[in-house]
Amino acid sequence: MCETLASPLNYGGIILKNRVVFAPTTLGLPGDEQIQRLRDIASGGCAMIIVGDVPVLPHGFGMSLYSKKGFSWYRTLADVVHAQGCKLRAQLHQSDSNMKAMIKYIPAVLAGHISQEQMRGLLNQQVGTYVTGMPERKVQKITDAFGAAAKLALQAGFDMVQVHGDRMCGSFSSELFNKRADCYGGSAENRALFAVQAVSSIRKCLPDVPIDFKLAVRQGSPHYGNAGVLEEELPVFVPLLESAGVTSFHVTLANHGQLEDTIPSANHPEFSAEGCFLKFCDQVKKLTKLPVCGVGGLTDPQFAEEQIQAGRIDCIAMSRQLIADPMWPRKVFQGREKEIYRCIRCNKQCLGGLLAHKGVHCIYERKKIL
């Protein structure tokens, strides 16, 4: 039954009914279909759903908290998820894609000459120049916006917020991208300032709201991830973020490399094992007493139970497994583990579907219909 996994958790001030969370995921689905997908996941018994990439500024891709349509969509989603006894977390982020640099590629993308993955690589090449050359007043405008967006998120029905420690936040954190010579660049303390100000902005606007931080860790040897915090810099970043107001950490591998690294398949050369990113949680756990959420190829209930019992993590976040079988938590807690559709980490219809502009799906979907 996995009693620890099924037990409640005080996650930085909010009570989760169990230790299973749906990780922030770009689903690439139409609005109504995405709400239905998240409803299914909520009804399967997980404690909280994290909605990825909620923009902190009025412009940007996807639904906006600042538009009537976007706010209404988030409100509907919150009502649907809450009706299933599940909580909702908004992952607040700011893109580090240089939109002006993107314009010249649009004709090739529309003509099919440049794939989404190729476009991603081209945009990644612009990140360093973009964050290094950004005027300080614009940086401060963005970090201030985290507070305003957090207020709107709670008004829309979200229960708590998460600061996305990747994207622009992660690029400012990384010495590979951030070559600034002002207070935002140079030392690890300076490169942490963007993230610290984003968290502080939320804390100033909402003194009591739980603030989760997606801590994107960059591995040095062998090299994986380009944005985010180098493992050796965690002793600098973690205390600063905690002092700024963070109440929990969601720990994973940093982005801006290959998508197959942050969403590793079962044959990945470095991250093929169950719980492949939990080694980063081990490092964070040494630096804080705040709750830590682990992620990375988690599919096995007994393995997850053992990691929580051992104190490596306080809860688990899953994406592909809950897409493969939204009923995973309910089946586990009812002793029906043999009925689970176990994710085999093939990346065929989930990551593959997203890259093919068909949305995130799973190889099991047709079997369930049949």
Domain that holds residue 177: 3-369
Residues comprising the chain, all counted: 370
User: Domain count of the chain?
Assistant: 1
| pLDDT for res 95 | 87
212: CATH = 3.20.20.70
For residue 160, give the nearest of 215, 93, 92 by alpha carbon: 92
| Residue numbers in the chain where pLDDT is lower than 70 | 60-61, 98-125, 366-370
| pLDDT for res 369 | 43
- Report strand pairing: 248-253 vs 292-295: parallel
Active site residues: 167
Task: Give the whole-angstrom CA distance, residue 214 versus residue 204.
Answer: 19
pLDDT tens per residue, range 110-155: 656 566 666 566 566 678 899 999 999 999 999 999 999 999 999 9
Residue 158 C-beta-side C-alpha neighbours within 13 Å: 27
Secondary structure class of 263 (helix, strand, coil): coil
| Residues 6+ away with beta carbon under 8 Å from 100 | none
Q: To which residue do tokens 């949680």 refer?
A: 281
Q: Where are the alpha helices (DSSP H) in the chain?
A: 3-6, 31-43, 68-82, 99-103, 106-110, 116-133, 136-155, 167-173, 188-191, 193-205, 234-244, 259-262, 278-285, 301-309, 320-324, 328-333, 351-355, 365-369
Secondary structure class of 283 (helix, strand, coil): helix
Q: To which residue do tokens 């219909």 refer?
A: 369
Q: To which residue do tokens 């000459």 refer?
A: 113
| pLDDT for res 259 | 87
Task: Give the whole-angstrom CA distance, residue 54 versus residue 14.
Answer: 20
pLDDT tens per residue, range 279-304: 999 999 999 999 999 999 999 999 99
| pLDDT for res 367 | 55
Residue 293 pairs in a beta bridge with 250, 315
Residue type, 8: P
| pLDDT for res 296 | 96
Helix (H) or strand (E) holding 228: none
The pTM of the full predicted model, rounded to 2 decimals, is 0.93
